[in-house]
Each structure stands twice: as structure tokens, then as C-alpha cells.
């Protein structure tokens, strides 16, 4: 009997979600079109450079989704569904801290973690969990009402969970089961036509638009689906030319002529969508909500902890200078980066600021040196960049915020509830992977091969 392997399930899920979301949010389709145009143009100009951080096949199909859930149990179920698709939780993001306005969620990202799986299909989903216990946002009474409301809803049918468990343990599904699994999974993330309780939604919205989007309704939905583009500045301009107003900024590293690192993202607010409301008197009326948006991203090289510390330092510096000089972030950032950030992949690799895999370059004879910087310098090995597969808390907060209408309310005299990666791992009943470990392991495997081939023990640094 024909079967679909996990990666085929994942690719099919991403594809169907994309089709579904395109019918719900038409400007998403425009965004995908423009991204593909930009990618095609870059490929025509310089195919090798355009594919330095992934084959055009991978980049064209590449998406990340964003979803938001309300309870630990819902998050655990989401973890089960994604495990069936070969996607595992990586990283912990505390957006309560990263955002200036009220964003009461903590998040992780589900994604493939093995090189081969990422190359087959890298679909990832940024997943946020509401934090009703956090007193800075919700008082005891509202926490109680919110948790009661959430405990009454059921987002994922039992049949979907059972199929996901099978897909996880067998790493594949027969064709008929696969079809059912995909159908139920995609349906769980469609926008519902159930009337929204207007009073309840409005009460939560006064605290945070995100809280209302999660806890004000009885279902969940995909919030956005993000294509990957090879030149985000070019895309930004082309979208503006088509009359779509983008947010003011591109989040993440600035535009500059050095290597692309980490992640650059930008977005636009999608149109208001018609929704039905239940009024206080029980009648149902037509209305609209504007909670979803279009986002696009360009990915760069993954940074090591030291590289990331340098990046974070530059972010702070740019902020300070910008306040002092009063000019745009982009201008200040390009200047600061030009002075302080390594200008070449060679330098990033040599100073151990970014992750690469290494391969022996044929043709050298004699006794090789034993450290990566020397091997690179003397042409014994080639370095291939490892692409950043994760997210940035500050950018994520920026994306959340720039699409909210108001600041919401946050009582800073209250204490935060302690929710960390260990807590989230417990909720998921799964190992929560550390992104740095995954990149380091990938580099280490390549170094082992290099060591074997050169007949010497090679280390990453001097």
C-alpha cells in the first residue's frame, strides 16, 4: 500500500495550509507571488550566490506559520500533531518580556531538527501560549473566567490526535490515513464562522489584542504564513509599489553589504475580515476583526553564542545612537554594522561567530594544521554556512506589536509568573531542544568527517 513519509506529510500539510490561507487572506497570495518574482530575478542574476543559503527548491516551498493557543493541554496536543509531521519544539521565547505593549504569551517553534529533514522540507510553526496566570495582565477573577472559558473548548478532535500518534511512532501513514490526518489538521486551523461573544472579546481586548484573539473565541486559526525571500529590501519596495502598506521597519539586522545573518522580517496588516458577533441580548450581528497579517522573511547564517552576543550588543548600540542622533534605525544600523560586524563569511568562521559545516577541499598535500581558522586560511577546507532556522524574540515582539491597535494594559507593579523552557518542556511532555545545541552538533558532525579524511583531530577554534 502506498504510504506518505513524515516529510511528505509535512510538505503536504504546509502546501494545503498555504492554499487554505490564500483563500482566507488574499493579500498573502500577492506576497507569495512577489517573493517568487524577487527570488527568480536573483537566481537569474547569480544562481550560485542566490542558493548559498539553500536550494531554490527549498526556498520557494519554505514557509513558517504562526499559531496561538490558550492552555497547556492545547499546547501539548499541538506538540503531538506536529510530532506526527516530524516537527519538534526548539527554543523558548518570552514575549511578555520582549514586548513593550501587552503581549501575554510564551512561545516555542516546532520544526524539523535533522539536516536531511530540513532539506526535504523545513516547515516551521511559531507557537504561542497564553499566560492567564500572569498578574501583570490578568487579575485573579479574570484568570479564573479565562481558564474556565478555555477549558470548555476543544480545538483538536480525538481522531486527529490518534492519527498524529501513529504518524509519530511509525514515521509515516498509509494513503487513506494520511488524507484524513491532513484534512483534520488543516481544518483545525481554519477561521471559524461561530459567532464571537462581543462583550467577552472586548473585555480581553482592553488588556491585549493577543489575549482576545486567543481567549476570546472558541477555536484557533493560523495567524500568518510567511514565505522566504532572498532580498527583503527589494520585496519591501515592490509591495509598496503594488499599493500594500508595509510596517515602517524591517526587523532584525540592517541592510548592509556584509554576510546575511540570522533573520530579517517585515509585515503588513491584513484587511479586516468579516466575523459574526453575539451581542449581549443574544442576537447575532455581522462585524469585522482585524487580527491577521502578512509577513515575509529573509534568512541568514546562524550565529554562535558569541556571535549572538555581538549582535545583541549592536542592537543596543543602534538604539542608543538613534535616540541621540534622531535619525532612522536603518541609517544608524548600517553605519554601526559597517564598523563593528565581520564583513566576510571567512571572518565569521575564523572568529567562531557563526556556524558553518566544513568539507575537505581536494588537492592539498603535506601535513594539515589542526584548527579550523588555519585550515581555512591555507585552503584545506571549505566552509558552508548553516542557515538560521529559528526566530528572534525582539523581532517576534515587534511583529506582534506593530500589528496591534493599542498598547493594551500591563501592571508593572505585579510580579511575572515564572515560566521558562523547563516549564514548557514539562507542559509538552517532550524535550525542548536548544537551538545552539542543534547547530553545534551539525558543525561537529562535519568536523568529524574532516578529521577522518585528513587523518588528524580538528577543532573549531585555536
> What is the contact surface with Ni ion in residues (CB under 5 A)?
66, 226, 295
Residue 270 burial by Cβ neighbours in a 10 Å radius (0-12, 13-18, 19+): buried
Residue 388 Cβ vs Ni ion, minimum distance, rounded to whole Å:
14
Q: Which residue has the cell 536531511?
A: 116
Q: How far, in Å, CA of 451 to CA of 41, rounded?
A: 39
The answer to whether residue 92 forms part of the interface with ligand OOG (CB under 6 A) is: no
- Give the list of residues 6+ apart from residue 194 with CB closer than 8 angstroms, or none: 217, 218, 219, 276
Q: Which of 66, 81, 262, 298 binds ligand OOG (CB under 6 A)?
A: 66
Query: Which of 173, 246 has the CB closer to Ni ion?
Result: 246
| Binder of residue 391, out of Ni ion, ligand OOG, none (CB less than 5 to 8 A by kind) | ligand OOG
Copy the grid coordinates of residue 130. 497564553
Closest contact distance (angstroms) between CB of 446 and ligand OOG is: 28
Taking the least distance from each CB to ligand OOG, the nearer of 402 and 446 is 402
- Where in 142-201 is the site for ligand OOG (CB under 6 A)? none
Q: For ligand OOG, which residue of 35, 128, 220, 401 counts as binding (CB under 6 A)? A: 128
Q: Could you tell me which stretch among 115-123, 156-164, 199-207, 390-398 binds ligand OOG (CB under 6 A)?
A: 390-398
Binding partner at 189 among ligand OOG, Ni ion, none, C-beta below 5 to 8 Å by kind: none
Distance (Å, whole) CA 298 – CA 229: 5
Evaluated on CA atoms 10, 60, 89, 192, the torsion sign reads negative
Asked if 56 and 39 count as a contact pair (C-beta separation under 8 A), the reply is: yes
CB count within 10 Å of CB 162 equals 13
Half-sphere exposure of 302 (CA within 13 A, CB side): 22
Stretch that binds ligand OOG, among 8-16, 39-47, 394-402, 451-459 (CB under 6 A): 394-402
In the bound state with ligand OOG, the residue whose beta carbon lies nearer, of 351 and 394, is 394
In the list ligand OOG, Ni ion, none, the entry touching 18 (Cβ below 5 to 8 angstroms by class) is none
When asked if residue 400 is in the footprint of ligand OOG (CB under 6 A), the reply is: yes
Which residue's CB is nearer to ligand OOG, number 160 or number 263?
A: 263
CB of residue 155 vs ligand OOG: minimum separation in angstroms?
Answer: 15
Q: What is the largest CA-CA distance in the chain?
A: 86
Q: Smallest gap, in angstroms, from Cβ of residue 219 to ligand OOG?
A: 15
Decide which of Ni ion, ligand OOG, none touches 69; Cβ closer than 5 to 8 Å per partner kind.
none
402 belongs to the binding site for ligand OOG (CB under 6 A): no
Q: Based on the shown chain and the rule CB under 6 A, indicate whether residue 6 belongs to the binding site for ligand OOG.
A: no
Site string for ligand OOG, 204-223 (x = CB under 6 A): -------------------x
Q: How far is the CB of 126 from Ni ion (least distance, A)?
A: 5
For 261, the 3-state DSSP assignment is: strand
Q: Which does 223 bind (CB under 5 to 8 A by kind): ligand OOG, Ni ion, none?
A: ligand OOG
Decide if residue 391 touches ligand OOG (CB under 6 A): yes
- Alpha-carbon span 386 to 102, nearest angstrom: 34
The DSSP code for 251 is B
DSSP state of 325: H
Residue 126 is a binding residue for ligand OOG (CB under 6 A): yes
Non-local (6+) Cβ contacts of 201 within 8 A are: 212, 216, 217, 277
Residues 266-305 that bind ligand OOG (CB under 6 A): 295
> What's the min distance (Å) between Cβ of 103 and ligand OOG?
9
Gap between the Cα atoms of 291 and 294, Å rounded: 11
Whole-angstrom distance, CA of residue 191 vs CA of residue 293: 14
Q: Which of 185, 188, 215 is nearest to 202 (CA)?
A: 215
Phi, psi for residue 113 in degrees, rounded to 5: -120, -5
Which positions lie near ligand OOG, rule CB under 6 A? 66, 68, 126, 128, 223, 265, 295, 391, 395-396, 399-400
Amino acid at each position: 500500500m502506498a504510504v506518505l513519509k513524515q516529510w511528505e506529510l509535512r510538505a503536504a500539510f504546509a502546501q494545503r495550509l498555504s492554499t487554505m490561507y490564500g483563500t482566507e487572506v488574499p493579500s498573502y497570495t500577492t506576497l507569495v507571488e512577489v517573493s517568487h518574482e524577487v527570488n527568480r530575478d536573483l537566481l537569474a542574476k547569480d544562481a550560485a550566490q542566490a542558493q548559498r543559503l539553500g536550494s531554490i527548491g527549498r526556498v520557494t516551498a519554505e514557509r513558517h506559520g504562526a499559531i496561538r493557543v490558550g492552555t497547556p493541554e492545547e499546547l501539548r496536543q499541538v506538540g503531538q500533531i506536529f510530532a506526527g509531521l516530524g516537527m519538534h519544539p526548539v527554543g523558548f521565547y518570552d514575549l511578555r518580556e520582549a514586548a513593550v505593549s501587552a503581549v501575554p504569551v510564551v512561545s516555542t517553534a516546532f520544526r524539523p531538527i535533522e539536516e536531511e529533514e530540513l532539506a526535504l522540507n523545513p516547515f516551521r510553526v511559531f507557537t504561542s501560549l497564553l499566560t492567564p496566570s500572569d498578574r501583570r495582565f490578568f487579575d485573579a477573577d479574570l484568570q479564573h473566567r479565562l481558564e474556565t472559558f478555555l477549558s470548555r473548548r476543544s480545538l483538536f478532535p480525538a481522531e486527529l490526535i490518534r492519527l498524529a500518534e501513529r504518524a509519530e511512532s511509525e514515521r509515516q501513514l498509509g494513503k487513506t490515513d494520511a488524507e484524513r490526518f491532513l484534512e483534520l489538521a488543516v481544518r483545525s486551523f481554519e477561521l471559524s464562522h461561530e459567532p464571537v461573544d462581543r462583550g467577552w472579546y472586548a473585555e480581553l481586548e482592553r488588556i491585549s489584542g493577543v489575549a482576545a484573539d486567543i481567549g476570546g473565541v472558541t477555536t484557533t486559526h493560523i495567524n500568518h504564513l510567511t514565505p522566504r525571500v532572498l532580498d527583503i529590501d527589494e520585496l519591501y519596495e515592490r509591495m509598496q509599489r503594488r499599493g500594500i502598506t508595509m510596517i515602517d521597519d524591517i526587523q532584525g539586522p540592517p541592510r548592509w553589504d556584509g554576510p546575511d545573518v540570522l533573520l530579517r522580517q517585515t509585515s503588513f496588516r491584513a484587511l479586516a475580515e468579516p466575523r459574526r458577533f453575539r451581542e449581549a441580548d443574544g442576537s447575532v450581528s455581522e462585524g469585522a476583526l482585524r487580527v491577521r497579517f502578512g509577513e515575509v522573511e529573509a534568512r541568514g547564517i546562524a550565529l554562535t553564542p558569541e556571535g549572538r552576543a555581538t549582535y545583541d550588543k549592536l542592537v543596543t548600540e543602534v538604539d542608543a545612537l538613534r535616540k541621540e542622533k534622531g535619525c532612522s534605525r536603518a541609517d544608524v544600523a548600517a553605519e554601526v554594522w559597517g564598523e563593528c560586524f565581520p564583513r566576510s563569511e571567512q571572518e565569521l568562521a575564523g572568529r567562531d561567530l557563526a556556524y558553518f559545516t566544513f568539507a575537505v577541499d581536494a588537492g592539498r598535500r603535506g601535513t594539515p594544521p589542526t584548527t579550523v581558522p588555519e585550515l581555512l586560511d591555507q585552503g584545506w577546507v571549505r566552509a558552508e554556512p548553516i542557515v538560521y532556522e529559528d526566530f528572534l524574540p525582539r523581532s517576534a515582539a515587534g511583529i506582534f506589536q506593530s500589528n496591534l491597535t493599542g498598547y493594551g494594559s500591563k501592571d508593572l507593579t505585579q510580579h511575572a509568573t515564572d515560566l521558562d523552557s523547563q516549564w514548557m518542556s514539562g507542559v509538552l511532555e517532550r524535550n525542548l531542544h536548544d537551538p545552539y545545541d542543534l547547530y553545534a552538533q551539525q558543525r561537529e558532525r562535519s568536523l568529524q568527517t574532516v578529521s577522518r579524511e585528513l587523518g588528524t583531530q580538528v577543532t573549531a577554534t585555536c
